[in-house]
Amino acid sequence: MSELVLVKNLTKEFGRENTRVTAVKGVSMKVSEGEVLIIVGPSGSGKTTLLSMIGCILTPTSGEVYIEGQKISDLPYRALPDIRKNKIGFVFQSFNLLKSLTIQENIEAALNLNKIKGNEAKARAKKLLIDVGLEGRLGFFPAELSGGEKQRVSIARAVANDPKIILADEPTGNLDSETGQKIASMLRDLAEKERKAVIIVTHDNRIENIADRIIHFEDGKIIQEAMGEARSQVASV
């Protein structure tokens, strides 16, 4: 399997001198195509900070991040938007949809950022929303959707520009158990069928069944790594 994410001795500090806090402490890990990695741990353990550095939202204090073999941790800040736009898709707990746009227009906006416009953007946005089961909601605004439907839109937006890496921060945190499992299954499908690397930060142990690996994170460090249920099932076949 091709290695899509590689992290070496990654550290992130906030503040200075007496107020300095080390949120991530020398973390190393890798994620391959077709793999779902779930990161669990208590609030404040540094999980989201780690995800944000992989996603080029935060710059590491030290250490290295490679995305599809490219070292991105030393890139100038102005180069990072292109990495995020082309190589990484984000799914958030709070959905982060533009309220004034219909859901189809939300997807089109993501495509426009990558210079896909006009009829091509409309057609692709429509197909993506149909793929996540929202063919009857194309002209709806986010406020008219359920939480599960909003998260389906978020997934469609995350894959709009066909990135190889999907980063999901508490994607089922605002959803009931049944809906959360459906969203988790969609993320699993992205790994299995489209060979994407999916990294999920979560408190929701109900979705751990979709993981190939589970990392337990505490005090900014990996304290345990275990094979997930999905990989266990494959290994037993």
pTM of the model: 0.93
Task: Calculate mean pLDDT across residues 153-159.
Answer: 96
pLDDT of residue 199: 98
**Residue recorded with tokens 């590491």:** 60
For residues 142 and 109, is the Cβ–Cβ distance under 8 A? no
Per-position DSSP letters for 59-96, written without gaps between them: --SEEEEEETTEE-TTS-GGGHHHHHHHHEEEEETT--
For the chain, give every domain's residue range. Answer: 3-236
Q: Using alpha carbons, select from 178, 195, 179 the residue that is nearest to residue 145.
A: 179
Give all strands (DSSP E) within the chain, no chain letters.
Answer: 3-14, 21-32, 36-40, 62-67, 70-71, 88-92, 165-169, 197-201, 213-218, 221-227
Number of H helices, E strands in the chain: 7, 10
pLDDT tens sequence across 164-200: 999 999 999 889 999 999 999 999 999 999 999 999 9
For residues 55 and 226, is the Cβ–Cβ distance under 8 A? no
pLDDT of residue 234: 44
Confidence of residue 229 (pLDDT cuts 50, 70, 90): confident
pLDDT of residue 237: 36
- What CATH number belongs to 3-236? 3.40.50.300
Task: Calculate mean pLDDT across residues 60-86.
Answer: 93
| Coil vs helix vs strand at 45 | coil
- Look at residue 216 and tell me whether its pLDDT is greater than 50: yes
Tokens of 79: 């180069």
Tell me how far apart the alpha carbons of residues 215 and 230 are, in angstroms, rounded to a whole number: 14
